[in-house]
Amino acid sequence: MNTEKGYAAGFRTLDTEVSDRKLPVEGTLPTWLRGSLLRNGPARFEAGSGAAGRAFRHWFDGQAMLHRFAFADGRVTYTNRFVDTPSSRAARESGRIAYPEFATDPCRSLFARFFSVFSRPEVANTNVSVARFGERFVALTETPLPVEFDPETLATAGVVGYEDALKGQLTTAHPHQDPGTGDLVNQLTHFARRSEYRVYRQPTTGTKRELIGRHPVTRPGYMHSFAITGRYVVLAEFPLTVNPLSLILSGRPFIENYRWDPERGTRFIVFDQREGGVRGVYETTACFAFHHINAWEDEDRDGDLVLDLCAYSDASVIDALYLDRLRAGEGVPVSYPTRFRIGLRTGRVETERLAEESMELPRIAYERHNGRDYRYAYGVSSLDGREDDFINQLVKVDTRTGATLTWHEEGCYPGEPVFVPAPDAADEDDGVLLSLVLDSANGSSSLLVLSARTLDVLARAQAPHIVPYGFHGLFTGRA
């Protein structure tokens, strides 16, 4: 008996690649909307085919595919292409899982494990996000080897190397722009006998990184993202941590070596970009998050750091995202937009929920409000906070009042809403949201264009096939 839920179509392999396919559009696109939405996410969930094929185990293991929705003169065209890496080639051409993934391991030797963990990272399956390194566009994941691609054809150009001696085996898939300089900032986790978190900056015009500060750690935590303000970088160390030796010796896939220890609590490690080094470590109760929403310095409250993230009560969401569980509809925990106010002088951390609607995959008006005070956040959500379905609505949160707006259509499952500001926008929410939606009843995917102010649908462009659920994207003015 088939026990798959309707939304399980978003976790099936997409083999088809198309170029500049003109899409039918319902409604009216804003006349000013010109450029490209570039999205990244998994699209192949097995190596080989038939009985001889081997399935990847986790949503985060799927092989990376890029998607481009180009807007010009009221029209939308679509291109999609696999990221060409040794991992994806092995899966497609030889039917092998040849490289370790988040929760799938090819059962390599102890010798190979040692060199993959403690030496140069392997070319990874960059299926998480998209970023700009100056004029370069790169696909990213949690290992520090970005893969460059052509933003028009989506053809893979190759790995981007760094011109420095900074080492680390893990990074976050979400580098930030420094609100003041525009430099890219990120962190490296370096596994060793004495492991470290290493925060660095990278000029947008080059690939030579500069160390901002380092922090020693015995059991490194799992970090998918971090926060930045004009002066500070904040790492959230949740109590999901690992003994680095277990990555070599256990024989388990990467994430299954991490252990949840709520007694540790959550620690915010604050780096001072101006002075260098660590400003302080601030502790609060245990929680978990993949994504930060934003952070800023509240000069009206003695320079407190205000940090907003999508908080879960624990890390069980990781287990819920194994593909067999998702397809069987076992349910997914939800996270809520949560504010942490860090007293840099008092050492206290205050916590409050910003809204009663759940939120994941958050976005803001990044160009104007990254690292600064802001009002609106957008994300995906779950209707009535239910955990027996997949993400099935979009949400807008007013962080000052707690008021929310939602978009929901029965049987539809939206992806991350990317905010695009209107030219000469007067208000923070003056613009549109772009969200790729799976319609499970019709077996189709479409790109929604919604008013960021009201969440009313302005237009939708029908994709030529079901697009598997992705993770993150960006909008570029290049059409």
What is the overall mean pLDDT for the chain?
A: 92
Residue 266 in this model has a pLDDT that exceeds 80: yes
CB-based contact 421:50 (threshold 8 Å): no
What pLDDT does 115 receive?
47
Give yes or no for a contact between 470 and 41, defined as CB atoms under 8 angstroms apart.
yes
Indicate the SS3 state at residue 147.
Answer: strand
One CATH from 2.130.10, 1.20.140, 3.40.50, 2.170.150 for 6-36+77-83+166-476:
2.130.10
Question: Given a cut of 90, is residue 365 above it in pLDDT?
Answer: yes
- Please give the average per-residue pLDDT across 99-109, as a whole number: 70
Give me the residue spans of the domains in the chain.
6-36+77-83+166-476
CA pair distance 394, 423, nearest whole angstrom? 24
* Residue given tokens 């696909």 in the structure block: 139
| Residue 174, pLDDT above cutoff 70 | yes
**Local confidence band at 309 (pLDDT 50, 70, 90 cut-offs):** very high
Q: What is the pLDDT of residues 385-404, one digit of tens each?
A: 998 889 999 999 999 999 99
DSSP per residue over 180-213, as a string? TT--EEEEEEE-STTEEEEEEEE-TT----EEEE
Q: Read off the DSSP letter of residue 288.
A: B
Q: What are phi and psi of 39, to 5 degrees?
A: -125, 155
Q: pLDDT tens digits for 57-69?
A: 999 999 999 999 9
Q: What is the pLDDT of residue 91?
A: 80
Q: For 1-28, how does the pLDDT look when each residue is reduced to its tens digit (9 = 90+)?
A: 345 677 999 999 999 999 999 999 999 9
Q: pLDDT tens digit string along 202-244? A: 998 888 999 999 999 999 999 999 999 999 999 999 999 999 9
Listed residue (232, 226, 243) closest to 117, CA to CA: 243
SS3 state at 348: coil
User: pTM for the whole thing?
Assistant: 0.94
Structure tokens at 70: 């180009």
Mean pLDDT of 35-52: 85
